[in-house]
Structure 1
Amino acid sequence: MKEIRRPRIMAALGVIALILLAVVYHLFFSSDKNPQYLTAQVARADLEDAVLASGTLQAFKQVDVGAQVSGQLKSLKVNLGDNVKRDQWLAEIDPVISENTLRQAVANEANLAAQRLATAAQLKQAELGLKRQQQMLPDDATSRQDLEAAQARFDVQRATLASLDAQIRAARIQIETAQASLGYTRISAPMDGEVVAIVTQEGQTVIAQQLAPVILKLAHLDTMTVKAQVSEADVIRIHPGQSAYFTILGDADKRYHGKLRAIEPAPQNFLDMQAGAGGTGSGSSKPNTAVFYNALFEVPNPEHRLRISMTAQVGILLGAAQNVLVIPAAALGPKDKDGAFPVRVLGKDNRVETRKVSTGINNNVKVEVLSGLKEGENVIVGEATDHPEPDAAPSARD
């Protein structure tokens, strides 16, 4: 039995040795030494280069409707979301105090008018007395002292009358002010628009001594303004008149288009930065804080689909092209002095050819090819390896 088993063992060992030899040959002698490339095909596509920014939507026309007099908000004539017309009655402040102030001003004017009548009569009497004294003095029928006293009485009454005239003019100004204050208790719409916020409710007391309190906010929503925050690195690349578009979070597939109207010259946190630099503010602005400038443009909103404070993903177009040859930007080599880029092209039998390529629009992802390549050719964007290097980091068990 032992002699029968021995040939079988030797045969098995021979088979194992042949398998090991085949594996060694495959690994060390028959492996493909040609490099493996990652390629991309030259194809036609639409291409655009744009400055991307985040922004918010605002109403093109918006106004805070406030109170110019103090008092209790007696009634609100509109509700949130109502459409109003210019000069429409919106709210009313309790008018009692303003009405009483007007009545008092009218009474003061009447009192001064009565005093003026009395003073005018006294002035007339003083004038007659002065004339008599002047007629009697040449005949020595009166003394110079009596003449001077009559002159003084006349002058005093004339000055009193002038003072009352000035007081009456002041009283009329007070009446006009009281009338205006009474008119301010009736708050009207300064423009056509929609009630987008009600800040003060009926029954609340408003105090308009130092700052006009806001009753409600009106906005004209037929046109919306997009305020895009552009970084300081990109703001030098944009200017008014450029085409811009944005999408909203609720409908990322629909683009809203407009023309860039203006770029604010100071960053959005300019006041905070000045307060911090001057030493009078809180100093919350840090030197390494990112700086953004607001770029503004308008879009129509006839259906009022766009709303205030919506987030907008904005693109400001620097260039665009349709149906042009494009390749990945990773395929470009270092730029030459003549402005061309070397590009490696993978031909038949894995032959690599380097060509000079002229480019157009480059958005750092795709590049427009103006010359040097043909549609359908394959450009090399990188190299692949069959055996990635093992991770050199020590394991947790070491």
Structure 2
Amino acid sequence: MSSWSAVRQQGRVRWWFVSLVLLAAAAAGAWWWKQQAPAAASAGAARAPGRFSGAGAAQPVSVGVVQRQDLRVMVSAIGTMSARATAVVRAKASGELLSIKFKEGDEVKAGQLLAEIDSRSYQATLTQAQGNLQRDQAQLKNAQLDLQRYQDLLAKDSIAAQQVDTQKALVRQLEGTVAADQAQVDAAKLQLSYTRITAPISGRLGLRQADVGNVVGPSDAAGIVTITQVRPIDAVFSVPEAQLVAINQRLQSGASLPVELWDREQKQRLARGRLGAVDNAIDATTGTIKAKAAFANEEGALFPNQFVNVKLQVNLLKDVLTVPSTAVQNNYVYLVRPDGTVTQRRIRVGVVDGDRVSVEGELQDGDQVVTDGIDRLREGAKVAVIDSGAATRADAAAQDAGARRTALMASLTPQEREQVAKMTQEERRAFFRNRRAQAPQAAASGASAAVASTQAASAAASPGSAPVR
């Protein structure tokens, strides 16, 4: 009898728990369906061709306008950034590095103090040289006075001429000694100045190659730090030799050739500059010639050895007929007529500049050509012009809805996920609708409270109650 009561009590607990979960799932699913129905309907409308016309025969297409405009003739190339100047800062005098006055990556000016070396030995050498100079200067002064006296005595015929000549030779000897001493003093001052290491050029500092306490000298290959001049900076790239004639003509006429730099994906323009020079020989292996363009790089976004995509403008076509590049398919475009039908027009494709291409054919300025949906068209087909961004926005709305639902599923406990998997579609919609209406914290606490109340109700139930079948 006790085992039968336990079975009845266990069945009553399950019935309460399942009932509570089903009610919550139905409410959440209904709320979710109400919120997502408009977005789903918009997405369906954007994808369904038959909804763009009453009869369902018109094909939805996006169009672009034929227009006359100036078009650039561009040459694409792959280039590498090159510093205008590079200098490795080395110590000109050997000694212990006492202090470093710069920060890695900083911009410095020519002559700016970067580091200091222990100068005590060089100061002692300078002091010694100055002492020798003062001693020899005193001896020279004395010899010059003696010479003056000897010359006075010689004028009175009171001294031999040989003694005067000997004194003159001594004066000249001491003058040479003083000159040598002065040179030693100047050399010692120069060596002492080398203990203050300054920037030889203006530019950007690299990573430090020596630390305080290291003994540095002129023979250090890595030096202390490297400076690269990046304002301005150059880009080196190769262009086909077929473009050399047009480039030289523009350069000789004094015209500037604009150059654009783009990132690897060619989605972001990095800088604009001007062509500076071309090399003096063509590479016979590749049939190209190197060119160099200069860029101000005021924001410091370009670095030496950086890979870039280069677009060189070699000419500018004035007032040419252009269409969107997406409208061209196998040298044909679909022209939209005033009656809503399309007709094929054969064209001759010219220069491409960005998303526009120059064409020649039976087109007029202001005509509309199909840019999206070309693969579903034929001659004389009925079309309905739609906003080119409608489908994109509908897809984005659907993706956002899916992302929110994925995030909500991730917030469920394993038991709740198992329960949701067993629900019908309507129950699942009601469940998600209910969960979206609640904050995550409230939902979590509510679920815990629901389980606790269910267990309490089951424990309080009478053992003699009939089980629910």
TM-score, L = length of structure 2 = 0.50
- Residue equivalent to 1:183: 193
- Residue equivalent to 2:359: 369
- Residue equivalent to 2:257: 242
Deviation track 1:196-248 (CA, whole Å, cap 9, x = no partner) reads: 23344444444437x99743223455654333333444444435511211112
- Residue equivalent to 2:235: 226
Three-state SS of the structure 2 residue aligned to 1:80 is coil
Q: Which amino acid aligns with 1:324?
A: T
- Residue equivalent to 1:174: 184
The answer to whether the 8 Å contact 1:89/1:188 transfers is yes
- Residue equivalent to 1:277: none
Out of 304, 307, 312, the position equivalent to 1:308 is 304
| C-alpha distance in structure 1 between counterparts of 2:153 and 2:330, whole Å | 112
Deviation (angstroms), 1:262: 0.8
Instruction: Give yes or no for the alignment of 1:215 onto 2:224.
Output: yes
Check 1:92–1:158 CA distance in 2 against 1; reply closer, same or farther (3 A cut). same
- Paired residues, what number? 289
Deviation (angstroms), 1:55: 1.5
Instruction: Give yes or no for the alignment of 1:324 onto 2:333.
Output: no
The answer to whether the 8 Å contact 1:225/1:296 transfers is yes
The answer to whether the 8 Å contact 2:88/2:222 transfers is no
Following superposition of structure 1 onto structure 2, how do residues 33-52 of structure 1 map, counting pairs within 5 Å?
44=66, 48-52=72-76
Check 1:246–1:151 CA distance in 2 against 1; reply closer, same or farther (3 A cut). same
Three-state SS of the structure 2 residue aligned to 1:182 is helix
Q: Which amino acid aligns with 1:157?
A: Q
| C-alpha distance in structure 1 between counterparts of 2:95 and 2:286, whole Å | 44
- Residue equivalent to 2:51: none
Instruction: Give yes or no for the alignment of 1:259 onto 2:249.
Output: no
The answer to whether the 8 Å contact 1:67/1:212 transfers is no
Deviation (angstroms), 1:42: 10
Three-state SS of the structure 2 residue aligned to 1:53 is strand
- Residue equivalent to 1:107: 131
Three-state SS of the structure 1 residue aligned to 2:301 is coil
The answer to whether the 8 Å contact 2:113/2:198 transfers is yes
Three-state SS of the structure 2 residue aligned to 1:300 is coil
| C-alpha distance in structure 2 between counterparts of 1:372 and 1:173, whole Å | 87
Unpaired segments ≥5 residues, structure 1: 1-40, 136-146, 270-286, 333-342, 346-350, 379-398
| C-alpha distance in structure 1 between counterparts of 2:221 and 2:121, whole Å | 18
Check 1:202–1:268 CA distance in 2 against 1; reply closer, same or farther (3 A cut). farther
Q: Which amino acid aligns with 1:93?
A: I
Out of 286, 294, 297, the position equivalent to 1:297 is 294
Q: Which amino acid aligns with 1:298?
A: F
Check 1:166–1:79 CA distance in 2 against 1; reply closer, same or farther (3 A cut). same
| C-alpha distance in structure 1 between counterparts of 2:349 and 2:210, whole Å | 60
Q: Which amino acid aligns with 1:369?
A: V
Check 1:199–1:266 CA distance in 2 against 1; reply closer, same or farther (3 A cut). farther
Deviation (angstroms), 1:311: 0.8
Q: Which amino acid aligns with 2:277?
A: I
Q: Which amino acid aligns with 1:263?
A: A
Three-state SS of the structure 2 residue aligned to 1:309 is coil
Three-state SS of the structure 1 residue aligned to 2:303 is coil
State the identity %: 23
Instruction: Give yes or no for the alignment of 1:197 onto 2:207.
Output: yes
Unpaired segments ≥5 residues, structure 2: 1-62, 336-342, 371-469
TM-score, L = length of structure 1 = 0.57
The answer to whether the 8 Å contact 2:321/2:359 transfers is no
Deviation track 1:237-276 (CA, whole Å, cap 9, x = no partner) reads: 4355112111123x6311134232411434699xxxxxxx
Deviation (angstroms), 1:112: 1.3
Deviation (angstroms), 1:293: 0.9
| C-alpha distance in structure 1 between counterparts of 2:221 and 2:281, whole Å | 28
Q: Which amino acid aligns with 2:235?
A: V
Greater fraction helix: 2
- Residue equivalent to 1:164: 174
Query: Please, what is the CA RMSD of the aligned residues?
Result: 4.5
**Structure possessing the higher relative contact order (Cα contacts under 8 Å, 6 or more residues apart):** 2
Check 1:77–1:175 CA distance in 2 against 1; reply closer, same or farther (3 A cut). same
Q: Which amino acid aligns with 1:198?
A: R
| C-alpha distance in structure 2 between counterparts of 1:289 and 1:97, whole Å | 58
The answer to whether the 8 Å contact 2:279/2:289 transfers is no
Deviation (angstroms), 1:43: 7.2
| C-alpha distance in structure 1 between counterparts of 2:239 and 2:112, whole Å | 40
Q: Which amino acid aligns with 2:257?
A: Q
- Residue equivalent to 2:117: 93
Deviation track 1:311-356 (CA, whole Å, cap 9, x = no partner) reads: 1111102346787147869649xxxxxxxxxx9x9xxxxx999x8x
